[in-house]
Amino acid sequence: MFGFHRDGDHPDLGPCHVQLDHEDAPIARYEASVLDVHPLAVLDERLGQLPSALSSIRWVDGTPSLPGWDGSDSALG
């Protein structure tokens, strides 16, 4: 599962992070920028980033990773 999270669970990553899970366990978490305070504006922007984000996931021996993620939203194209 891939998603953007805005919660207080990982304060070292700031107020927003991207997370990749596999088999019910987190594989990777990276800081992501806070785009807007309005939820619908954030949803619109993140949906636009989704194709690039998903194409950046790589699979090796049945395990996903985010090797192209540099910790910024610019990595999403």
Q: pLDDT tens, 57-71?
A: 999 999 998 886 655
Domain that holds residue 59: 2-70
Q: Is 75 within a domain?
A: no
Structural domain count of the chain: 1
- Residue 34 and residue 14: Cα distance in Å, rounded? 9
pLDDT band at 35 (very low <50, low <70, confident <90, very high): confident
Q: Above 50 in pLDDT, residue 75?
A: no
pLDDT of residue 62: 92
Q: Is 76 within a domain?
A: no
- Residue 32 and residue 28: Cα distance in Å, rounded? 13
Q: Is 48 within a domain?
A: yes
Q: Is 29 within a domain?
A: yes
Q: E strands, 1-77, where?
A: 2-5, 17-22, 25-31, 58-60, 63-65
pTM (predicted TM-score): 0.70
Q: Is 77 within a domain?
A: no
Q: Looking at this protein, which amino acid is placed at residue 26?
A: P
Q: How far is CA 35 from CA 11, 26, 45, 60, in A?
A: 17, 23, 8, 31
